[in-house]
Amino acid sequence: MDIIKKAISKNNISVNKPSKYLTQKNYHLFRIAIIVIASILLLVGIFFSRQFYKSNSKISKFVEFNVERGESVSLMAKKLHDQNLISNEFYFKTYIFLKRANKKVNPGKYELNQKMSIADIAGMVTGNKSSQQQKIVIIEGWNSKQIADYLADLYAKNNASKNVKYDELKNDFQEKFLAEVNNPQKYNYDFLADKPKDASLEGYLYPDTYFVYVDSNPETIIRKMLDNFVQKVTKKIIEQAKNQNMSLYEVLTLASIIQKEVKTPEEMKLAAGLYFNRLKADKALESDSTITYFTGNYDSRASAKDLQIKSPYNTYTHKGLPPGPISNPSLIAIEAVLNPTESDYMYFITDKNGKAIFSETGQEHVENVEEHLNQ
């Protein structure tokens, strides 16, 4: 080995060893390559991010979109593009692929807006929101407009995004909900049979606690309410109404007034008996609640000016029942109409604490007003 080393040294033979210069040069080239690749990836990421999250359109238009069970992402992308909900099918499919959400698509009907981004739409149809349930509480005595306002507020809060604002969603939901209420022909339930043809679903939207998906549309929620109505207002109750020469619609109309006027089950039965007394005596019902239903001032008493309004809902000037329900009554109010407490009462007021005070004569009524309301 020493002989070989001496021979190399003597003849100035160099060993095959990279120079320091070449090592540094390669290192710098490597760093440049990494920076270039990272920059390209960053630019590509920014580009795709913009495609995923930018608004599809400047125009706000809601579109009903249906996803069939087992539908492929490619077909879904094509349908979205055909309905002007996305501008590029490839970007939608890429987003679904990157999110690994191709197997998370939930079949059903969706209310989408053309202003939504690809990410917004994907979030709706892949379960990010569709799988979330919320509790809704429909208060006894609310009318359809109050229910629509309550539900629209929840829907808008849950589904608003950068591209589709709260007000747009709320207004759209309200309009669609009330359109459904005014289209009862769409709903095939036996208990609607005796309803006048031009009447809405007011009175049938059963007040209760429900659990619904946060992006449930108006039709879905209304069907839940009507299904619940079937369970609560049984065939036995409907038969009882017939035996008392009343249609279910008439029962709901009177029950809706009682629900608004008094609070307790005992007061409801007394009020029902009182109203039947007035109907038999051919006297006007004189209910403030029927007038405020018409004026929209739901939580206040009818004013002297309101009492002069010309409307079939003015039960001070029109005898008999109003044209239809003014609220959506509870089972307790419905049963009060079918099982009224007999009495000679013809008048009542509710004091400042909401307690009902009944009287038989007009003079007693005037005295009650003076004692409990005018002091």
CATH of domain 62-125: 3.30.1490.480
Concatenate the DSSP letters of all residues of 147-216 into one string. Answer: HHHHHHHHHHHHH--SSS-HHHHHHHHHHHHHHHHT-GGG---GGGTTS-TT--STTTS--SEEEEETT-
Phi-psi region of 358 (alpha: psi -120 to 50; beta: other; left: phi over 0): beta
Grade residue 129 by pLDDT with cuts at 50, 70 and 90. low
Grade residue 48 by pLDDT with cuts at 50, 70 and 90. low
When pLDDT is averaged across residues 36-61 and rounded to a whole number, the result is: 75
Name which of 42-56, 92-106, 129-143 the model is least confident about. Answer: 42-56
- The answer to whether 95 and 122 are in contact (CB under 8 A) is yes
Higher pLDDT, 156 or 49: 156
Angle at 349 between CA 348 and CA 351, to 5 degrees: 145
Highest-confidence range of 26-40, 148-162, 251-265, 302-316, by mean pLDDT?
251-265
Name which of 124-128, 140-144, 183-187, 336-340 the model is least confident about. Answer: 124-128
Task: For tokens 């001070």, name the residue.
Answer: 316
Burial class (CB in 10 A: 0-12, 13-18, 19+), 112: buried
> Quick check: 324 pLDDT over 50?
yes
- Secondary structure string (H, E, C) spanning 66-129: EECCCCCHHHHHHHHHHCCCCCCHHHHHHHHHHCCCCCCCCCEEEEEECCCCHHHHHHHHCCCC
Q: 332 φ, ψ to 5°?
A: -60, -45
Phi-psi region of 360 (alpha: psi -120 to 50; beta: other; left: phi over 0): alpha
- The answer to whether 206 and 147 are in contact (CB under 8 A) is no
> Quick check: 219 pLDDT over 70?
yes
Alpha carbon distance 263, 1 (integer Å): 112
Give the tens place of pLDDT for each residue, 176-204.
999 999 999 999 999 999 999 999 999 99
Task: For tokens 């609310």, name the residue.
Answer: 142
Name which of 42-51, 98-107, 170-179 the model is least confident about. Answer: 42-51
What is the residue-averaged pLDDT of the chain?
87
Higher pLDDT, 282 or 13: 282
Alpha carbon distance 87, 117 (integer Å): 10
Give the tens place of pLDDT for each residue, 1-44.
444 444 445 445 444 554 555 577 677 777 777 877 877 777 76
Distance from the Cα of residue 301 to its chain's centroid: 29
Burial class (CB in 10 A: 0-12, 13-18, 19+), 115: buried
When pLDDT is averaged across residues 360-367 and rounded to a whole number, the result is: 94
Count other Cβ atoms within 10 Å, centred on residue 245: 7
When pLDDT is averaged across residues 221-241 and rounded to a whole number, the result is: 95
| Closest listed residue to residue 362, CA positions, set 290, 280, 306, 278 | 278
* 235-243 vs 248-261: helix crossing angle, rounded to 10: 100
Alpha carbon distance 255, 337 (integer Å): 6
> Quick check: 258 pLDDT over 50?
yes
- The answer to whether 122 and 80 are in contact (CB under 8 A) is no
**CA distances for 168 relative to 114, 119, 156, angstroms:** 12, 19, 8
- The pLDDT, as a whole number, for residue 131 is 52
- The answer to whether 202 and 178 are in contact (CB under 8 A) is no
Alpha carbon distance 355, 369 (integer Å): 13
**CA distances for 251 relative to 239, 247, 336, 349, angstroms:** 12, 6, 10, 22
Which amino acid would we find at residue 283? Answer: K
Concatenate the DSSP letters of all residues of 270-287 into one string. Answer: HHHHHHHHHHHTT-----
When pLDDT is averaged across residues 258-285 and rounded to a whole number, the result is: 97
When pLDDT is averaged across residues 281-295 and rounded to a whole number, the result is: 95
Task: For tokens 């492929």, name the residue.
Answer: 72
